[in-house]
Structure 1
């Protein structure tokens, strides 16, 4: 990831772009490591003799560890720097990714996935602190949106990669192979990332001046608060609740979509891999568009989130209620586009509302709400599917209600 200069037109690859590329790779590995579970789950369930409720518990076990370590991970990133937390976190979860492919029992799987989640839990707050450290305020929503494309591309790539490896070698090899790129990214952060931008070997005086101007603007705005002070603000807890409700929908959607396509729509493994990937490619476009629009709608970002979240919920309802398989895929793609556009708008609010000095702890607090939802949503969906005799209708209605509720809460946000 060397810095590159393009002389024509005066455009220059800046040091912060290399940092963002490294963050993107870290997030991509994290999503690959967690999302292959959704594709592998039907085969793991068959191999270990799991019921739908037990399969939901396997998905939720990851989020138990992930949610548990969100706030501690953010606090540690603020205290010791994002470099150490990202390096340790990526190396930790890569080891447990490998071990997932070696488990031989249901209890062992639950423990392994929970500890895997602990490693991943240290990463989000540190990564957002890194963005806030290296990017001026006017570019943070766009940078976060670029990083957030892994929320869509991760599941898309995971669907195809996992399906191919499972078909050729079985589900265990998927997890063992994915440990390798994770360890490589951990090494990069340890060797090349710097907590202080001034110590980055490629940082120019012009970039440092941009960052200084952004920091002065933050201080002039009077928002240089401590974590304890920001913790008491209603805005923080509104963002936590919005993200909780949004992630009820997001994690329910990504966790159970492959099983839905195979069990309800009757698709083969490879068809499911492709059909599961397409909506997330559409979501990547929505994420980039949402980040770009968010940086241009300062003060009005909530009005970008609300209508797009409502539209996403409407198309999600159409997806499971329509009889045609082709139309179901079209609706799930459309829902994904608007869902992720709304997500980018939301994180623009977060990045603009939290001072850089407490970005790790406060953004991790927001993300804790989402990962608590990640723990609840797959398990509740598994239960609803179980009690409905295999029907997914009630489970998907649960997701529609959650994202609509997030729009209602967003209306109460005064700032942004």
Structure 2
């Protein structure tokens, strides 16, 4: 007589690390809402302050000046004092200056406010990546990072929809005042829930701690103990900095000027821009999550996810500004975003799993520093190229395409170690 197996089936169990990731996700979401809504408001800010495209680009770039300068200091502080304190203070700081952005009455004050706002946001990324490296085992880090990084797509998408709606109803100042308020509550949530050491978390289970201990033991066998001062001299980290710098020229140029392009070149209204401008980022969310999943499944081939995806994104970005149909332009933007964000996730899967946990804050901040320098350069250069070509975006798009191709070429030199 044959009997059915009575072995218990493994059931999904919610773990503390999933709650931590959820909090990080919400934190990143508001960081992107707070920084990206200015792209929707830019045409109206430009009109109120009588600014040309280059001066509007400086508004975008000023944020990245503060943001890039504090990537490495923020990471160093997280490594020294723990990520919880740094993240909570950073979110409270930038939320205050988000609200103050809506209250400025002059162009110089606006630039100062965006710079100081960027300082607060700059301290956050290294701390959040260190938290993922602390709470997640090695074989889940790329997926966790991709889920966290999905706000790079959802943030601009929601900023486009929410920003357009609030601006249409109440004016551009109101959107900044409103979005700054939730950050204070998120900062308190981080302070009281997240612990620097998972073993000190009151709700974490013994099995979850065992998973982390096993993963850390495996990583220790593969990686010698190394200090940040030693790691910063390695060829690998500077290859990553250069790749991310070039890639982010395309990334930040793409998302910073997309609303203005749709309104000024394609003739979309504010509400239509809010709707159609959000579509590439919703599609990009699929690419981001797929990139994280594939990155964990094919750890030794991450650069072969990154390179073709980046090149395909560049191809469809070229189609975006060369087609005459506005509908086709939006479709090509969506396809370009799909591959752009897939490449994004593949790259950060490589970064987060190649850096020792003890120096994750400072080292990931160093890599991200390269990208944020690009964020400072790209919006201003695009504005300059648009003015130089009498309002045409063609040369600006070619600038983004060239940077994407260069990023893929540098990635060819990276050795597949993970």
Contact 1:218 1:224 in 2 (8 A): no
- Aligned twin of 1:297: 298
Distance 2:337 2:224 in 1: 34
Distance 2:326 2:168 in 1: 23
State the SS of the aligned residue for 2:278.
helix
- Aligned twin of 1:323: 324
- Aligned twin of 2:70: 69
Distance 1:412 1:9 in 2: 42
Deviations 1:250-293 (A, max 9, x none): 00000000000000000000000011100000000000000000
Tell me if 1:188 matches 2:189: yes
- Aligned twin of 1:97: 98
- Aligned twin of 2:241: 240
State the SS of the aligned residue for 2:104.
coil
- Aligned twin of 2:38: 37
- Aligned twin of 1:414: 415
- Aligned twin of 1:162: 163
- Aligned twin of 1:132: 133
Distance 1:279 1:52 in 2: 23
The alpha carbon displacement at 1:179 in A equals: 1.0
- Aligned twin of 2:4: none
- Aligned twin of 1:53: 54
- Aligned twin of 1:362: 363
Contact 1:48 1:104 in 2 (8 A): no
Gaps of 5+ in 1: 1-6
Contact 2:302 2:416 in 1 (8 A): no
Gaps of 5+ in 2: 1-7
- Aligned twin of 1:198: 199
Tell me if 1:375 matches 2:376: yes
Tell me if 1:151 matches 2:168: no
The alpha carbon displacement at 1:310 in A equals: 0.3
Distance 2:120 2:145 in 1: 21
Farther-moved stretch of structure 1 (113-122 vs 197-206): 197-206
State the SS of the aligned residue for 1:301.
helix
Runs of 4+ in 1 over 4 A off after TM superposition: none
Contact 2:223 2:356 in 1 (8 A): no
The alpha carbon displacement at 1:199 in A equals: 1.0
Distance 2:267 2:257 in 1: 14
**Highest CA radius of gyration, 1 or 2?**
2
- Aligned twin of 2:84: 83
The alpha carbon displacement at 1:9 in A equals: 5.1
Deviations 1:338-385 (A, max 9, x none): 000000000011011101110000000000000000000000000000
The alpha carbon displacement at 1:224 in A equals: 2.8
- Aligned twin of 1:283: 284
Deviations 1:218-270 (A, max 9, x none): 11013431111111110000000000011000000000000000000000000
- Aligned twin of 1:141: 142
Distance 1:238 1:305 in 2: 14
State the SS of the aligned residue for 2:299.
coil
Distance 1:44 1:155 in 2: 18
Distance 1:249 1:189 in 2: 32
Distance 2:223 2:32 in 1: 36
Farther-moved stretch of structure 1 (44-53 vs 391-400): 44-53
- Aligned twin of 2:274: 273
Distance 2:343 2:226 in 1: 27
Distance 1:270 1:8 in 2: 50
Q: Are residues 224 and 218 of structure 1, via their aligned partners in 2, closer, same or farther at CA, if it must alter by over 3 Å?
A: farther
State the SS of the aligned residue for 2:404.
helix
State the SS of the aligned residue for 2:371.
helix
Deviations 1:37-85 (A, max 9, x none): 0000000111111111110000000000000100000000000000000
- Measured on the aligned residues, the alpha-carbon RMSD in Å equals 1.0
The alpha carbon displacement at 1:415 in A equals: 3.2
- Aligned twin of 1:313: 314
State the SS of the aligned residue for 1:300.
helix
Contact 2:142 2:292 in 1 (8 A): yes
Deviations 1:159-194 (A, max 9, x none): 000000000000000000001111111110111110
Tell me if 1:13 matches 2:14: yes
Distance 2:68 2:82 in 1: 20
Within 5 A, what are the aligned runs for 1:205-220?
205-220=206-221
- Aligned twin of 1:4: none
State the SS of the aligned residue for 1:342.
helix
Distance 2:144 2:228 in 1: 23
When normalised by structure 1's length, the TM-score is 0.98
